[in-house]
Amino acid sequence: MTATAPHHPPAADLADRLARARLATASAGMDALLVTPGPDLRYLTGYDAIPLERLTCLVVQAQGDPVIVVPRLEKPAALASPIGDLGLEILTWGETDDPYALVASLLPGRPRAGLDNHMWAEKVLRLRAAMPGSEQLLGGTVLGELRIRKTPDEVEALRRAGAAIDRVHARVPEWLRAGRTEREVGKDIADAIVAEGHVRVDFVIVGSGPNGASPHHELSDRVIQDGEPVVVDIGGTMPDGYCSDETRTYSVGEPPAEFREFYAVLLAAQVAACEHVRPGVTAESVDSAARDVITDAGYGEYFVHRTGHGIGLETHEEPYIVSGNTELLEPGMAFSVEPGIYLPGRHGARIEDILVCGDTVGERVNLRPRDLVIV
């Protein structure tokens, strides 16, 4: 690992992703994938375009070479991105042109078009109007299948993200004190997320005492009290676009005895789920591995969410580690394992690591100790 880790995948990797996207589009029976700015565009081209009202749209055709339609004023930015080295054809449009008609001209007839899952409704509807009779489908069925298996370079990017957020958690005891508010602690954490190498703070959860029993509580002006457990779930985006996400539970002074008791159950559940990860097991069985331990100890009704979510260029993506997801884990799949126990009105705890499924076992990219940290 070096300080000058690349922010973009090599052009050869991007060309390979585009080629695989084209094949997958064809085998899904689609004529084209239409991809507007967001993680799918970044995955396929390295272009981290800002989502704007003006249409930027990558057209991956099942037959023919991919083309990107960009506003004329965005062309320099597009060329400065890895697109400049990809040899991708760029079609520009001026302020008075109709970019939707331009996209439609590339796809004659009544195309079956896969749209990226995050495309703005405005663009979906204008594309539909420009291509009467076309069929619009979710492109995520094609793109999700590509993005779900990380390449060795992507795994390395997730390791860098994991190490960066580990460094932030290592410093949390400096800031967590009785008498400070969650918001004050959160501000210190947010500053550290950037200082430790992220370009963006995605979320900072500091759930003290009863707020820890709300899994997605963020920050409040509540003053942290002595003897309270505090759930700290934090994440950001690295310069290369890959995300971090890690939860540890701390206690400011000695916590109540009942808390120590269920924290031990939670830790055993999280470890059991991590140890269960390997190729060929279902995503839902990882959820069960955690949930069974918690249920057997009598806390089942207090574990109110799925065990995890995939992670990569987005904090939440496939595969979801949830009952009902019978997808088999494969090497390169990356996801969180984050069981929690939440006693309403009292306190809660969660332990979260990101794992990558390897050839034989799962690899944690977050390496901070998982024991309850008393500060």
Would you say 30 or 232 has its CB closer to Zn ion? 232
Q: Smallest Cα–Cα separation from 325: which of 314, 309, 311?
A: 309
Query: How would you label 174-208 residue by residue, b for 16+ Cβ within 10 Å and e otherwise?
Result: ebbeeebbbebbbebbbebbeebbbeebebbbbbb
Question: Which residue's structure tokens are 């204008």?
Answer: 126
Cα(236)–Cα(285) distance, integer angstroms: 28
Would you say 160 or 306 has its CB closer to Zn ion? 306
In the bound complex, what is the minimum distance in angstroms from residue 336's beta carbon to Zn ion?
A: 4
In the bound complex, what is the minimum distance in angstroms from residue 317's beta carbon to Zn ion?
A: 11
Would you say 24 or 334 has its CB closer to Zn ion? 334
Would you say 157 or 231 has its CB closer to Zn ion? 231
In the bound complex, what is the minimum distance in angstroms from residue 201's beta carbon to Zn ion?
A: 13
Cα(154)–Cα(158) distance, integer angstroms: 6
SS3 364: strand
Beta strands in the chain (DSSP E): 32-35, 57-61, 67-71, 89-93, 112-115, 135-138, 200-208, 228-237, 246-252, 308-310, 317-321, 334-337, 340-343, 347-350, 353-357, 362-364, 373-374
In the bound complex, what is the minimum distance in angstroms from residue 79's beta carbon to Zn ion?
A: 36
In the bound complex, what is the minimum distance in angstroms from residue 91's beta carbon to Zn ion?
A: 39
Would you say 317 or 352 has its CB closer to Zn ion? 352
Would you say 71 or 236 has its CB closer to Zn ion? 236
Q: At what angle do helices 140-147 and 11-27 cross, to 10 degrees?
A: 140
Would you say 74 or 245 has its CB closer to Zn ion? 245
In the bound complex, what is the minimum distance in angstroms from residue 328's beta carbon to Zn ion?
A: 22
Q: Smallest Cα–Cα separation from 14: which of 62, 112, 86?
A: 86
Would you say 245 or 317 has its CB closer to Zn ion? 245
Instruction: Name the DSSP class of 371.
Output: S
Would you say 102 or 192 has its CB closer to Zn ion? 192
In the bound complex, what is the minimum distance in angstroms from residue 245's beta carbon to Zn ion?
A: 4
In the chain, the amino acid numbered 304 is: V
Cα(32)–Cα(26) distance, integer angstroms: 8
Query: How would you label 78-92 residue by residue, b for 16+ Cβ within 10 Å and e otherwise?
Result: beebbbeebebeebb
In the bound complex, what is the minimum distance in angstroms from residue 322's beta carbon to Zn ion?
A: 13
| Interacting residue ranges for Zn ion, rule: CB under 5 A | 233, 245, 247, 336, 352
In the bound complex, what is the minimum distance in angstroms from residue 290's beta carbon to Zn ion?
A: 13
Residue 324 makes CB contacts below 8 A (sequence gap 6+) with 284
Q: Smallest Cα–Cα separation from 34: which of 68, 66, 64, 57?
A: 57
Run of H or E including 287: helix 283-296
